[in-house]
Amino acid sequence: MAYPVPIARKNLFHDRVRFIITLVGISFSVVLILVQVGVYLGMMYNTSSIIEHTDADIWITARNNRNFDFSMPFPEHRENLARAVPGAARTKKLILVWSLMKIKGGGSENVEMVGFDPESGIGGPWEMLQGAVGDVKFHRGVIVDESSTGKLGALAIGDYREVVNKKVRVVGICRGARRITTAPVLFTSYRTAQELNPWIDRQTVFVLVKAVPGADIAELRGRLARVMNLEDVYTRQQFINATRSYWTFSTGMGIAFGFTILMGIVVGAVIVSQTIYSATIEHLREFGTLKALGAENRMIYGIILQQALISGVLGFAIGLAINFAVVRAYSSTGQAIIQPWQLFAADFLITQLTCVAASLISVRKAMQVDPMEVFRA
């Protein structure tokens, strides 16, 4: 027999149906928040994965370009201006161009073709499953991401495909290069990208600048911006942020995710406050009795608060377990879902705060109980 009698726990476990409803509500909210944020962060990672895996400190783009995926080209000779700026160790050109690939059984798919410098590999794939990055030097060689097979069909090294009426040859399979646009990524050499897409002849889409070691990147960006007066100049982080904020705010994606996450919080809060409140109302006479027997107010706060926190912690634990099952199932489809520890910490706090806030309404009710209530029949 436990002594002191754990009144809060016994109250919770005594009314099992209500307790289960509370736990379902909290864990539902936890799963919704964790999964939605995880999927969102996974998508955000996709938007910037190529930028993050490219060895460059500064990204130069056409003027008023707002993100990685939809960029206008500009004359490639402008690279020379950038290269001459003090503090720039080296520059590389990188092309991102939308193109069309024919599918085996007929029809075609939009692809995002990335044309990089095959000598340095800068801007190219970073995790090869088959073949080598430099193989794009072979005539019209392309590297495709393993995730592309859904749209492009099965692909193997040596396969030929047609891009805008010209044959390309698959020379490698890479991993991790997914675009949020859902278009398959086709890595190829800078020259091949221009050749397959004649409208960007003698043009580049990005100029990538590597700073000399120890250089102040912000200052270098400023110097480059003065010289590259027809283009926009971003530090790497600025370009990542610009791309992410484009997808978050200019596409409605942020609102969609934000709304779902908010719904998770609201649903959790409503269910928790409802069940805790109704449990308090039901035990109101018992709280009054405790007071008559000489319990201090703080003991009664304590019981209600404990009920909220036990529900909160257990609900979070269940939600966490379900979350990992969902993540596992989701990841097996090849989608990225990113959940840093800060997400868990924040959601744990949100859940407990919601529970405590929900219980405060009940505490108020319990404190207002008329002392003579205990004598009512």
Partner 1 sequence: MSDETLSVVGVAKIYGGDGLSVPAVREATFACRSGTVTAIMGPSGSGKTTILSILGLLLKPTSGRVVLMGKDVTSLDERELPPLRRASIGFIFQSFNLFSSLTVLENVLVALQLQKVAKANAMGLAEAALTRVDLVKRANFYPRDLSGGEKQRVSIARAIASDAPIILADEPTANLDSKTGLKIIDLLYNLAEERRKTVVVVSHDLRLKEHVNRVLWMEDGVIHED
List residues near partner 1 by CB under 8 A: 1, 3-5, 7, 10-11, 13-15, 283, 285-286, 288-296, 299, 371-372, 374-377
Q: Say if CB 82 and CB 93 are below 8 A apart.
A: no
Could you give the 3-state DSSP secondary structure of residue 72?
coil
CB of 280 or CB of 339, closer to partner 1: 280
Shortest Cβ distance from residue 306 to partner 1 (Å)? 13
Shortest Cβ distance from residue 288 to partner 1 (Å)? 8
Shortest Cβ distance from residue 371 to partner 1 (Å)? 4
Q: Residues 328, 332, 333, 335: is their CA dihedral positive or negative?
A: positive
Shortest Cβ distance from residue 354 to partner 1 (Å)? 24
Shortest Cβ distance from residue 252 to partner 1 (Å)? 48
Q: Which residues contact 58 (CB under 8 A, 6 or more apart)?
A: 88, 208, 209, 211, 217, 220, 221, 224, 233, 234, 235, 236
CB of 109 or CB of 286, closer to partner 1: 286
CB of 4 or CB of 107, closer to partner 1: 4
Shortest Cβ distance from residue 14 to partner 1 (Å)? 3
CB of 33 or CB of 303, closer to partner 1: 303
d(CA 120, CA 333): 32
162: β partners: 167
CB of 257 or CB of 287, closer to partner 1: 287
CB of 8 or CB of 269, closer to partner 1: 8
d(CA 174, CA 135): 12
Shortest Cβ distance from residue 299 to partner 1 (Å)? 8
Helices within 283-340 (DSSP H only): 284-292, 297-331
Phi-psi map region of 48: left, alpha, beta (phi>0 left; psi -120 to 50 alpha): alpha
CB of 104 or CB of 285, closer to partner 1: 285
Strand 185-189 with 108-116, pairing: parallel
**Helix axis angle, 341-367 to 16-52, nearest 10°:** 150
- Rg (the chain; Cα; Å): 29
